[in-house]
Amino acid sequence: MTFLDWFPDIEVKGRKLQGFYKVIFGLVAASFSGFYLYTSGFGLVSSESNRAFYLLFTAILVFLSYPIGKTALSNKPSILDFIFIFLVTASILYWVNQYVSYAMDRVSSPNKWDTIMGIVAIIAVVETSRRVLGWAIPIIAALFLLQLYYGAYLPGKLSHSGLPFTRIIEFTFSTQEAMFGVITSTFATFVFPFMIFGAFLEKSGAGNFFMDLATSLTGKWRGGPAKIAVFSSALFGSISGSSVANVVASGTFTIPMMKRVGFQNHHAGAIEAISSTGGQVMPPIMGAGVFILATLTETDYLTIAGMNVIPAILFFTFIMLMVDLEAVKSGLRGLPVEEVPDFKTVIKRGWHFFIPLIIVITLLFNGFSPDFGAFWGIVSTLVLSWRNKETAMGPKDIFIGLIKGAQSNAAAGAAIGSLGIIIGGIILSGLGLKFSAVLVEFSGGSLIVTVLMVTLISVIIGMGSSTTGSYIILAVVAAPALIQLGVPEIPAHLVVFYAACLSNITPPVCVSAFAAAAIAKADPMKTGFAALKFGTTLVLIPLSFVYVPELLFQGELHRIILVSLSYLIGYATLAISIQGRDFFFGNISTFVRILFLLTTICFLLPLIYWLKIVGIVLLVSCYALIKFQNKQIS
């Protein structure tokens, strides 16, 4: 074993770091994770250091590993990359050093160096986002800065008098309201420790265990590999919280398996893409977006997770039903018996991987902060890995786990500084409330039209962006419109959050579907539309949160149970209607498909008892017609 074996290969967007540069990246990444592992366990660090070092480390890792363009050096950072590293380091360390002095003496009167360093930091942070995510987020950030200066030229209610250039830079850089605001604080404090936790779980063998567990439970079923993808993505996605990371982690195994048993390439990619997207809404962890949601709504994280239990279970149940019907249509079977591991053997080998999750949840239930829970989740994962010799984590594995945690954050956290700039632009101009007023006015005060508009806007903003990025922007500019129309705060934010998740699988730009298509060697657009078909309920869920609060554990227990059963039946009939095939009797006619769709509407509308009776009558009629038609054919 050589020294370089301690440093994993780093390859993104055509650049593969080697030798000395791989070592630099690894040392910076391990230091990054080590620092925030310390803060999550002990918390002895100032607010400005906590926020600043998160942006600084993220930017350095991005400039080291992501090339500035297609023609950049492929095996090492360029001189320009190191210039960016120097500038972002100088400007952010300046902010840390000067923040107390600024807050005490220079508020509203920034000096020359405050402005210069602010300009440098803004450019560097926006460039960080561009390298990882493309031009969408940087352009939006630039527009929100420009609207601060040219406010007088904005139309109608969005208009304002405009602000001086120095005031814009001061608010964006010098305060803790924009670039170093609540979004950065939430990622540094809560999200990043869970990314390290996920990396340690993966390094300890938990990823393989979850895959084997899914295979042992569903591998023998018809279309088994697709069900493995759904099940494993629900398990792993709950920890990773990133749909693209989930696609890459589990899709590498599940997509080839699906193709091998007969699924078309684009269907294999689509099933993995929608399942991985669903991982972001699967308790107990649910990923980055929900930590932001809990912070913005000032709600306990466990409350948010608990409210999502029913929607998440129903969502994955629908995907399972769609997958099963797809397997029936194509005459697909499960994996060969010899390739399916024994359930008891799998559990015996890896049951201990559930303990870190139990520890995290127990600490949260007892009032400890999420980052403290993540800290002890990491520690327990390390200790429990020693249960089996083959999974025992030694110093090298710990070091690589720290690097992998920081590496995954570099992709997820690259947008955070730019998103903070966007939020700062909205706050400083008061654009959030103004946009909400325009939205309500444009919709004519109609709640259903407003929800549909929010969903459409989310899909547009989400093109090339992350779920978290889309949600953060819409939480400020769109959620208030729903609240103004009478939707409670948390359901309003969940509407926006689920709409943001939808953008991952909605063509023309759908990052999760594109990642899955690359693995499946499928057409990206066909994969995106197929993912949208398998995840149809993701379009309906935002409306459900507004009109059927029982799905979020709101209301009397008997009504919650009845609504859950009603939605379960409704999702089943919707799957039958979309796929044009029943679970028992084979293909169905167009007329019966329409009847099943009408049945779905009855079961998915709010809990009105006579409507459910109509739904039951329609359901019985559907099966009577199917039996009659099959009898006529025979």
pLDDT tens per residue, range 30-61: 999 999 999 999 887 899 999 999 999 999 99
pLDDT average, residue stretch 548-557: 90
Show the tokens assigned to 510. Answer: 């759908």
- Residue 604 has a pLDDT of 94
Q: Quick one: angle between helices 19-42 and 192-203, nearest 10?
A: 120
Q: What is the pLDDT of residues 480-529, one digit of tens each?
A: 999 999 999 999 999 999 988 888 888 877 778 888 888 898 988 899 99
* Confidence at residue 239, expressed as pLDDT on a 0 to 100 scale: 60
**How high is the pLDDT of residue 436?**
86
Q: Is residue 297 classed as helix, strand or coil in its secondary structure? A: coil
Residue 302: per-residue pLDDT: 84
∠ CA 561-567-570, rounded to 5°: 145
* Residue 90: pLDDT over 80: yes
Cα 486 to chain center, whole Å? 27
Question: What per-residue confidence (pLDDT) applies to 331?
Answer: 79
Residue 1 in this model has a pLDDT that exceeds 60: no
Three-class secondary structure assignment of 410-436: HHHHCCHHHHHHHHHHHHHHCHHHHHH
Percent of the chain predicted with pLDDT > 90: 47
pLDDT confidence tier of residue 290, bands split at 50, 70 and 90: confident
Contacts 24+ apart (CB under 8 A), 20-28: 21/64, 21/75, 21/76, 21/77, 24/64, 25/61, 25/64, 25/65, 25/403, 26/399, 26/403, 28/57, 28/60, 28/61, 28/64, 28/406
Which parts of 242-393 fold into alpha helices (H)? Answer: 243-261, 265-278, 288-296, 301-307, 309-330, 343-350, 354-365, 370-385
Residue 137 confidence (pLDDT) above 80: yes
Size of the chain in residues: 634
pLDDT at 236: 67
Range in 171-185, 296-310, 453-467, 592-606 with the lowest mean pLDDT: 453-467
- pLDDT of amino acid 490: 93
Mean pLDDT of 282-311: 83
Q: Which residues pair with 587 in a beta bridge?
A: 581
Rg of the chain (C-alpha set): 25
Residue 563 reports pLDDT greater than 60: yes
pLDDT higher at 274 or 408: 274
SS3 at position 581: strand
Confidence (pLDDT) at 511: 77
For the chain, what is the mean pLDDT?
88
What does the pLDDT look like over 68-78, one tens digit per residue?
A: 988 777 788 99
Q: 3-class secondary structure for 488-521?
A: CHHHHHHHHHHHHHHCCCCCCCCHHHHHHHHHHC
**CA–CA separation, 244 and 133 (whole Å):** 12
Is 81 within 8 Å of 127 (Cβ atoms)?
A: no
Q: How confident is the model at residue 125 (pLDDT cuts 50, 70, 90)?
A: very high
* Beta strands at 581-582 and 586-587: parallel, antiparallel or unpaired: antiparallel
Lowest mean per-residue pLDDT among 210-224, 234-248, 317-331? 234-248
Contacts of 313 (CB under 8 A, 6+ apart): none
Distance of CA 262 to the CA centre of its chain: 29
pLDDT digits over 361-373, tens only?
899 888 888 899 9
